[in-house]
Amino acid sequence: MVEMAAVGEDTITRPVTVTVNGQKRSAEIETRLLLVHFLRQTLGLTGTHVGCDTTSCGACTVLLDGVPVKSCTVFAVQADGHEVTTVEGLATAEGLHPIQEAFREEHGLQCGFCTPGMMLTATALLRENPSPSEQEIRWALSGNVCRCTGYQNIVKAVQHAAAALEEGR
């Protein structure tokens, strides 16, 4: 259970149970609570970021049942009974996910704000298309905005991760 902000009579809440990074998390939340705020505020997972207010930038991207979605444009109640993966769920006990290593190796991040969303979208791409071309990578990432890198090293990072995952197979 999670503490609630002071509520009035008009507050409408629902209990939800969402599996986040493999762990079942339950809370009583407002129906209007966005998934990104559920993750950041209710669960304290601040790796998912908010960059805009028009569903345009992709900084809030998470995987919902393995599929990239903009968590600012999904209500937390819609994730009830579903699985969410955030950046915090990429590394395992064995170590960093190849995509994380790749971003560091290829200088695919500068300020780091778009990075969690970028990496999650990239992992979904590589699962569906293990050997994407540069054009395919740019196309797949066209919902994630970056202001710092100019994207070129991000593309290299995804190619690096693709090769690493291929090797690990």
Partner 1 sequence: MYPASFEYFAPTTLEEAGSLLEQYGDEAKVLAGGQSLIPLMKLRFASPRALVDVNGVDGLDGLAEEDGALRIGALVRHAACERSELLRGRFGALGDAAPQISDPIVRNRGTVGGSLAHADPQGDWGSVMMAVRAEVVARGPEGTRTIPVRELFQGPFTTALEPNEILTEIRVPDPGPKAAGTYLKLERKVGDFATVGVAVHVSFSNGSVQQAGIGLTGVGPTNLVAEAAEEALAGSALDDEAIGEAARLAAEAAQPHGDLRGSEEYKRNVVRVFTERGLRAAAERRSDG
Partner 2 sequence: MAVTEDDVIRGIGHSVKRQEDERFIRGRGTYVDDVVLPGMLHLELLRSPYAHARIKSIDTSAAAALPGVVAVVTGELMAQHNLAWMPTLSGDTQAVLATDKVRFQGQEVAAVVAESAYIAKDALELIEVDYEPLPAVTTPQQALEAGAPVIRDEKEGQTDNAIYHWEAGDKEATDKAFADADKVVELDTFYPRCHPSPLECCGCVADVNPATGKATIYMTSQAPHAHRTLFALVAGLPEHKIRIISPDIGGGFGNKVPIYPGYVVATAASLLIGRPVKWIEDRTGNLISTGFARDYHMHGELAVKGGKISALRVKMLSDNGAFFADAQPTKCKAGLFHIVTGSYDIPAAHVETDGAYTNKAPGGVAYRCSFRVTEASYLIERLVQTAAYELGVDPAEFRRQNFIQPDQFPYTSATGFEYDSGDYEKALDIALERIGYADLRKEQEEARKEGRLIGIGVASFTEVVGAGKGSEYQIAGLRMNDGAELRIHPTGKAVLKLSVKSQGQGHETTFAQIVAEELGLQPEDIEVQEGDTDNTPYGLGTYASRSTPVSGAATAMVSRRIRAKAQKIAAHLLEASEDDLEWKQGRFSVKGAPDRSTTIQDIAFAAYTNVPDGMEDGLEGVYYYDPPNMTYPFGTYAVVVEVDRGTGAWKVRKVVAVDDCGVRINPMIVEGQIMGGLTEGFAIAAMELITFDEEGNCIGANFMDYLLPTAWETPSFELAETVTPSPHHPIGAKGIGESATVGSPAAYVNAVVDALAHAGVRNLEMPVTSDKVWAALEEVGLAQ
If we measure between CA atoms, which residue out of 98, 114, 112, 110 comes closest to residue 157?
98
Beta strands in the chain (DSSP E): 13-20, 23-30, 61-64, 67-70, 83-85
Q: Which of 103, 125, 132, 161 binds partner 2 (CB under 8 A)?
A: 103
68 Cβ neighbours under 8 A, 6+ residues apart: 61, 62, 120, 121, 124, 143
Q: Is 21 in the site for partner 2 (CB under 8 A)?
A: no
Which residues, 128 to 147, sit near partner 1 by CB under 8 A? 139-144
Q: Which of 40, 49, 70, 160 binds partner 1 (CB under 8 A)?
A: 70
Token digits for 136?
């395919």
From partner 1, partner 2, none, interface partner of 68 (C-beta below 5 to 8 A by class):
partner 1
CA distance linking residue 165 with residue 126, whole number of Å:
9
Q: Is 56 in the site for partner 1 (CB under 8 A)?
A: yes
* Count of residues touching partner 1 (by CB under 8 A): 33
Smaller CB separation from partner 1, 129 or 152: 129
Span interacting with partner 2, options 12-20, 50-58, 125-133, 161-169, rule CB under 8 A: 50-58
Token digits for 135?
């054009």
CA distance linking residue 78 with residue 85, whole number of Å:
15
- Which residues would be at the binding site for partner 2 (CB under 8 A)? 5-8, 30, 32-33, 40, 44-54, 56-57, 59, 86-88, 90-91, 96, 100, 103-105, 107, 109-116, 119, 134, 137-139, 141-155
